[in-house]
């Protein structure tokens, strides 16, 4: 970590803790070393810097839409932090290679399987891309649920602090069990992952994954 990286990251962490009341549950269960895919729900922009700074000093990167770099300030911050740009809606092999390399180096890779913001805070159905990344890398997955951030901009305009809640689940591997991973199986794996995320969220936020009684764990192997 360079001095610039340390200074900017520390300043961002302090600023976010001033603007938000950050409550973390089970945070100590995040592995201290080794590759890890930390996947989370996506409600806006504030959760990305909060999760990133709170996970320090572990080396962390993440996938973010390439359009973010159109904003010079965010582009500068994300480049400093080593965030990986991804072109949505296509098979971005460059982003895949960079992600696999980051995991090979033992980093935490952050990803939002929904692929876009759920502006109400309620989960929308995940895409299967994260499944192929998990299978190719062999890295464990960790669900990181958060809520409250969807109120950040409204509260900021009213000069109010935002209650931002973070809750971490149990780590696991995805295993196809010898089956050929078809598009349908890939989606089932993604849904099983998202149910693990939904279980960590208050009922209102579960959205597409509210029916927890239908959750399966066929392709999950707990660590």
Q: How far apart are CA 140 and CA 150, in angstroms?
A: 28
pLDDT tens digits for range 187-207: 999 999 999 999 999 999 999
Q: What pLDDT does residue 117 have?
A: 86
Residue range of the domain that includes 135: 3-222
Which CATH number covers residue 29?
3.40.1130.10
Give the count of beta carbons closer than 10 Å to the beta carbon of residue 145.
23
Q: Tell me how many domains the chain contains.
A: 1
Write the CB contacts of 219 (distance below 8 Å, at least 6 apart in sequence). 174, 175, 176, 177, 185, 188, 189, 192
pLDDT band at 88 (very low <50, low <70, confident <90, very high): confident
Dihedral sign (CA 72, 78, 80, 85)? negative
Q: Which two tokens stand for residue 142?
A: 């960790």
Which candidate, 188, 171, 170, places its Cα nearest to that of 179?
Answer: 188
pLDDT tens digits for range 94-115: 999 999 999 999 999 999 999 8
Give the count of beta carbons closer than 10 Å to the beta carbon of residue 70.
9
The runs of H, that is alpha helices, within the chain are: 3-19, 47-54, 72-80, 93-104, 129-137, 152-157, 183-198
pLDDT band at 92 (very low <50, low <70, confident <90, very high): confident
pLDDT tens digits for range 128-153: 889 999 999 999 999 999 999 999 99
Backbone angles phi, psi at 124, to 5 degrees: -110, 165
Helices then strands, each counted (H, E), the chain: 7, 9
């Amino acid at each position: 970590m360079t001095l610039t990286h340390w200074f900017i990251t520390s300043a961002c962490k302090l600023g976010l803790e001033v603007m938000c009341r950050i409550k973390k549950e089970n945070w100590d269960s995040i592995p201290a070393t080794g590759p890890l895919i930390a996947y989370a729900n996506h409600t806006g922009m504030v959760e990305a810097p909060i999760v990133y700074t709170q996970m320090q000093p572990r080396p962390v990167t993440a996938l973010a839409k390439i359009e973010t770099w159109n904003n010079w300030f965010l582009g500068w911050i994300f480049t400093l932090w080593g965030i990986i740009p991804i072109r949505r809606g296509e098979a971005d092999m460059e982003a895949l290679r960079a992600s696999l390399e980051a995991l090979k180096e033992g980093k935490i890779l952050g990803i939002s399987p929904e692929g876009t913001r759920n502006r109400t805070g309620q989960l929308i159905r995940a895409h299967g891309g994260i499944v192929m990344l998990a299978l190719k890398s062999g890295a464990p997955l960790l669900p990181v649920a958060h809520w409250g951030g969807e109120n950040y901009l409204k509260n900021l305009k009213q000069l109010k602090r935002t209650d931002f809640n973070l809750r971490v689940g149990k780590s696991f591997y995805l295993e196809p069990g010898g089956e050929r991973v078809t598009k349908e199986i890939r989606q089932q794996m993604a849904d099983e992952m998202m149910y693990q995320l939904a279980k960590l969220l208050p009922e209102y936020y579960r959205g597409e994954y509210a029916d927890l009684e239908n959750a399966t764990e066929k392709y999950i192997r707990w660590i």
